Amino acid sequence: MPSALTCTARLAIYKIAIGTVLLAFGWPVAAAPRAQPVASGLQHPWAVAFLPQGRFLVTERPGRLRVVEADGTLRPPLQGLPEVAAGGQGGLLDVAADSGFDRNRTIYFCFSEPGLGTTNSTALARARLSGDLARLEDVRVIFSQKPKTSSTLHFGCRIAERRVGGQPDGTLFLTLGERFSRRDDAQKLDNHHGKIVRVGKDGTVPPDNPFVGRAGALPEIWSIGHRNAQGATLAPDGSLWMHEHGAQGGDEINLPKAGANHGWPVVSFGVHYDGSKIGEGASSQPGMAPPLHRWTPSIAPSGMAFLTSDRYGAAWKGNLFVGSLKFRYLDRIELRDGRVVAEHKLLQDVGQRIRDVRQGPDGLLYVLTDDARGQLIRLLPD
């Protein structure tokens, strides 16, 4: 007699049968990914960038930057980092490799920069990675958020290299939190709190920034009215997308345009942690850009990436991916005509907070988990 099939075997047969039917009718089938750990033992990793020969560059929030070998081996922390004000939400945060890294070995990173006494702010630096992968050279801070304040909260700190017509234009976007205690600053142009700024790779101010020449306005500002943005990326068409934490409810995905006001703390879809209204309790107001999408309850989003490869099948191509710190999953977001039409929770079995997500040069997705023994994980199509 033939042996009885196990439940797992039956399930596999059902999946194959259903997939075959869907493909026969021309419907895209989403691949079920599986998590493949690449590296572990990372202390609260915050961001990952990609280097040649399959290597990775990973920040650890306490103030370390490491090269991770293709086989997952952790190299010793790089020498040459500036002083980092690590504590609370602050530390060494985002990192990005220059689009011309193969010829110039330039990277950018943002971090909480100490000031006088207990003050600090978000800063953006550039450096060159040494050929032996042991240190940073020619380190220079090219932007420093003003003013510095005494807070360990809401640093923002995601970097995106701007592209126009598919080509880098020599400028960088940087998201900046409003430092929590200074939330009203997000509506003022005389400071960098609660803003997105755009600067040249050498720290200069692009002359076409929206507030250049305006009295009382800091010229680096690109958009205002943000709370705490821990995700930013370029869409396939080159437009800037970002998300930001709400308070209690009201996490948002926004598409910041030059000079746009995104409303915080005048309008919000959430409430303060004590349950009180934000502003007058309104979720919209003329002259303030509404979010493309919002989450209530909050998922505490971090990391953001578009998938442009075919590695996971047609159903995933063009999807947006966002990590959830609060609920510990990776959100796969389907878009149609510029709208969110569906969300899917991935990696719920990993059991750690998802801090970053990026598409690698191989077209696969990579995530970082924020934990005392955090992981770098590769998503493999099943």
Just list the catalytic residues.
154
Three-state secondary-structure class, residue 273:
coil
Cβ atoms of residues 249 and 298 within 8 Å? yes
Question: Tell me, what amino acid is at 107?
Answer: I
CA distance 47 to 157: 10
Record the tokens describing residue 219, joined without a space. Answer: 């010229």
- Helix, strand, coil shares of the chain, percent, nearest 5, are 10, 45, 50
Residues in the chain: 382
Instruction: Please name the amino acid found at residue 331.
Output: D
Q: Which residues pair with 221 in a beta bridge?
A: 197
Token pair of 10, please?
Answer: 């039956």
Contacts of 241 (CB under 8 A, 6+ apart): 232, 233, 234, 235, 253, 254, 255, 292, 304, 306, 320
DSSP state of 8: H
Q: Give the residue among 180, 233, 190 at the shortest CA–CA distance from 215.
A: 190
DSSP bridge partners of 342: 334
Helical residues (DSSP H) of the chain, grouped into ranges: 7-24, 101-104
